[in-house]
Structure 1
C-alpha cells in the first residue's frame, strides 16, 4: 500500500510539473512569422455578415455553406452527452428547456439564434446551449502591448473550438448580457476607447469575465476583470511605470494561475525577453507560438494593430508533444 501511494505521488508530480519541462515547454520561439511550419494550418477564412438584413436571415449563407461541419460538431457533443447520460435524457432536457430561454435574450441575438437553428435544421435548444457554453468555458491568452513609438498591438490565442453557430464576437444594452453579445455590441456601437471601456466595465453580465481592450493611442490598453454586477479591477498600460504590456490568461492577474494551467509565466517571460523596443506583429506571433502558450486547444491566433489597419488570423496546430490545454 505504501509503495502504491509513492507511485501515485510520483505520477501526480510528473503530471503537474510536465507543463514546465521540455518538450511541453520550450525557449521563446523566434522567426515564426510570417506563419509557416507544422504549427501553421492556414489562414482563417473571412465572411461578410450583412447586418442590414433581417436578423433571422443574416447567417443563412454561412450556415448553408457550413451545415455539414456544424452537423458533425453537434454530433460530437451529442455523443459526449450520451456517454455521460446514456438514456439520452440530457439532450432531451436541452431540447425542451433551453428554447424557453431564447425569448428572454435581447434583439437582434434572439432572432439570429432562431434563424441559425432554422437554417441548420438543428434543434433550437442545442444552438442555444453552444452560445451558453462559451460563457462558462473558454481558455485563451491575450495581450495588449505598446511599442517604443507609442503604437498599440493586440494579440490573442483562442484556445476553444466550438464557435460555429454563435451570432457573437469573441475577439474584437441591458442587464444580464452575455459576455460575447456585449463584446459584439461594443464593437458595433462604441465611438471611442473610453466609451468601449465604460460599457465593458459597467454593463451587468450573466457570468464573470475578463475583457482585454486595446485602442489606437498611447496608453490605451487594459484588462477589465468583471463580476456579474461590476468591475473588480482595471489594469491599464502605463509606460512610465514600466508596464508597456498587459497580459491575461483567464485568471485574476493579482493571483497565481492554476498550477496545471500556467500560460502566464511563459508568455510574460517571452514578452520581457522581447522588450518594448522589439515588440511587433512578428515578435507577438513568436510569443503566441511558444509552448505552452500554444497548446492542443489553440484554434487560431489573431494579430491586430489598429493604427495600421492590421487584422490577421491564422489557424494553429500544436504537434506532439504538446500540453492538452
Structure 2
C-alpha cells in the first residue's frame, strides 16, 4: 500500500510531514501499536513522555496519583486498556505513566478549526493543534487504521497516545476537537478520574470511536453531541455533501449548541477557536477575528485546501505553540494531509 499516495502527502505546500503509522484493528489491542517501534525510538519516546507528564502535573501529585491510576485501569474500556498496556510494554515503562500520559493530553489542546463550503458545494476542513510543548513536534504522526485489509479511518496524533483530536472517515466525514475554555474548569485530574469511574468518555476517545462506528455525517453528529464526556469541548465536523458542516459546542452531559453551515444565508464557513461563538473572546485573543477576516478575503468562490492552509498559517492563528496543521476533505480522502509546523510558523508557499 502506498501510504504517501493514500494520505496525499505529496503536495506543493512547504512544511515537514510526520511519519505514518499503520494500526491493524484486526490485531489484539496489545499488539496494534507495534509499528511505533519502527517509526520512533522508544528511549526518546519514554523521555519525552516524562517531560509531558512533568509539565502537566507537579511531581508530588504524580506520585500521589500513581496508586489511583493503577486502580483506574480496571475502569478503562477496551480497546484502550489493552492498547495502553501494549504501549507501556513497548516503552518498557510503568502502565500508570502511560495512563497519565494519555489523560494529560486532554487538558491543553488550544486549537483553531475551520469548516467551509465552496461555490460548488465541496466541503473543506482544516485545523491547527496548539500545545505548549515544542518537543511534541517530534512525536506527531499520521495514523492509518486498517480493518479487514481496508482503511477504516485516518487520524493525526502523538506517539504513545491512543486517542484522536483530528481524523477522517473516508467518504463519510471529517472531525476535529478544540478545547472549550470556560470560567469554571474545575480540578482536571479529579474530574477525569471521577468521570471515568462513571463511564464518561475522554474527548479524544469519543472522536476515535465515532470515526470507527458512525455510518455517515449525520450519525457522527448525533454521536458526538450526545455521549457524556469528561469535559466540555468543541467538535467540528465536515461531511461530503453541500451543507454538511457543523460546530458542536459540548457540555459534559450533552450539546450546549449546534451551529451548522448556512451557505444560502452567507454562512459558508464556521470558525472555532476555543471560545463559544456567541460570546466575545478575551481582548488578548484575536484568532477568530483574524480567521474571519482572512476567510472573507478569500471568498467562497476561491476557497480550497491551499487557501485554507494559507488562512491557518496567518498569525496569531499559527504561532510558536502550533504543533501541526491538518487539511482534510472526506469526499476526496487523498486530500488528508498534515504539516508539522516549525517554531515561528512560517508559511512559505513554493
What is the aligned partner in structure 2 of residue 75 from structure 1?
50
1:283 aligns with 2:307: yes
Higher strand residue share: 2
Gap regions ≥5 residues in structure 1:
1-32
Please state how far the C-alpha of 1:320 moved relative to its aligned partner: 8.5
Preserved contact between residue 216 and residue 307 of structure 1 (Cα < 8 Å): yes
1:169 aligns with 2:164: yes
1:175–1:203 Cα change, 3 Å: farther
What is the aligned partner in structure 2 of residue 57 from structure 1?
31
Deviations 1:129-164 (A, max 9, x none): 122123222111111100000000001111125532
Please state how far the C-alpha of 1:65 moved relative to its aligned partner: 4.4
Tell me, in whole angstroms, the C-alpha distance in 2 between the residues paired with 1:235 and 1:266.
20
Q: Report the TM-score when normalising by structure 1.
A: 0.81
Preserved contact between residue 94 and residue 126 of structure 1 (Cα < 8 Å): no
> Pick from 191, 212, 235: which aligns with 2:236?
212
1:119–1:306 Cα change, 3 Å: same
Aligned residues: 280
Q: Hey, which bits of structure 1, 4+ residues long, moved more than 6 A? A: none
Please state how far the C-alpha of 1:100 moved relative to its aligned partner: 1.6
Higher helix residue share: 1
> Pick from 110, 127, 132: which aligns with 2:81?
110
- Calculate the aligned-residue CA RMSD, in Å: 2.0
Structure 1 SS opposite 2:20: coil
Q: 65-74 or 54-63: which moved more?
A: 65-74
Tell me, in whole angstroms, the C-alpha distance in 1 between the residues paired with 2:88 and 2:66.
12
What is the aligned partner in structure 2 of residue 12 from structure 1?
none
Tell me, in whole angstroms, the C-alpha distance in 1 between the residues paired with 2:125 and 2:65.
37
Tell me, in whole angstroms, the C-alpha distance in 2 between the residues paired with 1:139 and 1:280.
24
Q: 120-129 or 211-220: which moved more?
A: 120-129
Q: Report the TM-score when normalising by structure 2.
A: 0.75
Please state how far the C-alpha of 1:175 moved relative to its aligned partner: 4.5
Preserved contact between residue 212 and residue 224 of structure 1 (Cα < 8 Å): yes
Q: 258-267 or 135-144: which moved more?
A: 258-267
Question: Which entry has the higher C-alpha Rg, 1 or 2?
Answer: 1
What is the aligned partner in structure 2 of residue 35 from structure 1?
13
